[in-house]
Structure 1
Amino acid sequence: MPSTRLVTLLGNTVRHQRHLRQLTQCELAEAAKVSQAAVARIESGSRAPSVAVLEALLAAMDVQLVVDVEPLDAHLDARIAELAARPIVERIAGLDLDRLLDQLPDVPQVLTGCTAALLQGAPVPVDAPEIALRWQDSKEFTRWLEANYGQRWNARWGEFGGIWLEPEEPGEHRWSTRHGEIRAVMCDELPETIQVRHGGRDYRVVPLAELELTEPRAAELLRRQRARLPTTEG
């Protein structure tokens, strides 16, 4: 049976989380009490995991599934087409990115996810600016959130709330602040970056090739955007 888009995304998510923890399929299977063959089929997209198995695999890696919705693919394609027709300077201005970056705490950080893709010219939707931060800087980031009326996104409630600001607490790394919404990717070391320049400002961004390996949502949108490009016959 061919993989559906959701089955592929779930498989990619399991594989991505396993790679982050430097686990083999056998090690993950043993921790989750499933077979290695099951892990392989789920990661390849050839098998749709049951909810129980998926939860066991993620729990074995100390994470949990967050369910969200997005526009149907037709609407998503229309949004990509709309963005492609607009100059990149307009797309960046729509994020109000510079104002947020100027207010962030003075700790090492880079732009990642769909934000990094947009700054490199990809016409992908960006819900909120996305930054990568080191875990060692999480306490300073938390202090900044507290000082700027941060509210943490709670996927279970489907809204922002006033609890669990700290990145160490379980849940999505997404906050609303008085300077706008922000998403964070917490990591031990910042990824390699390249520098791009727009409107007289330099931005440190994760390259597109790396985004496709490490950021599932950005990778999916980049694949959709490429699929829309006209093919050339030579």
Structure 2
Amino acid sequence: MEIDEARGGVAQLVKEARHGAKQTQAKLAERAGVSRATVAAIETGARSPSWEMLTGLLAAAGQQMRIELEPLDDDVRRALSAQVGDTQVADDLSMTVSLMEGLTGLDYRFEGLAAAAVVGAPLPLTEPIGLALPDGPEAVEWLAALLRTGAAAVTPVGHPYPLGGVRTAEGVARLVDLGEDGRFLLEFWLRTFVVRFVPAAEAERAVTVVGEHAPLRVQPLHEIESTDRNAARVLRLLREQTQDARD
């Protein structure tokens, strides 16, 4: 059995066991019947040991493993339960939205893990926050007007510095053309958003969450995906709980 998922933890485990036994890598390798290079690779996370090799290394350091079992995803279920009724993320983000005059009049939506955090996922509101704007003159004019106030700055994704002079529809078009996949960073009141224009029908697909200072439109939970293993577990459990509540 390979232990790829816990490679970083295994590396630290072996290193701590060796240090606790006051052994060099060479000494531990000799006692465990492996090469020093193998021990070094495991301790740096470059190699995942088999279960047999791991227990052998720990035994050579005078240690043994004790494994505790808990119900599948029980840690996530506890975190979800603790999050019930906590509106801090939605309230904080709604303050920013309330200052972005005119945004609530658009069919915008927050996307990705930020949207999940707003609807109750026990995840941090990390930046940049995904923001989708409906592709059309109203959203373009809203963005240009926001930039004309001087309170916001935009940077095409892939560029090292903000783009100045974006005050008209033509400026917004240039901003979109310069950004990778048409995306750009929007900095406003100590928040950073990664923005993209999407078809109106896509932006309209949103769930409204009531924040303390303004309503928030967020991407539906079933559309949110993540390559992060922990976030994916949280999303799966949150979807299951939402479905159970509907049933």
TM-score tier (shorter): 0.3 to 0.5
TM-score (norm 1): 0.47
Q: Which has the higher contact order (CA 8 A, sep 6+)?
A: 2
As a proportion of its length, which structure holds more helix? Answer: 2
TM-score (norm 2): 0.45
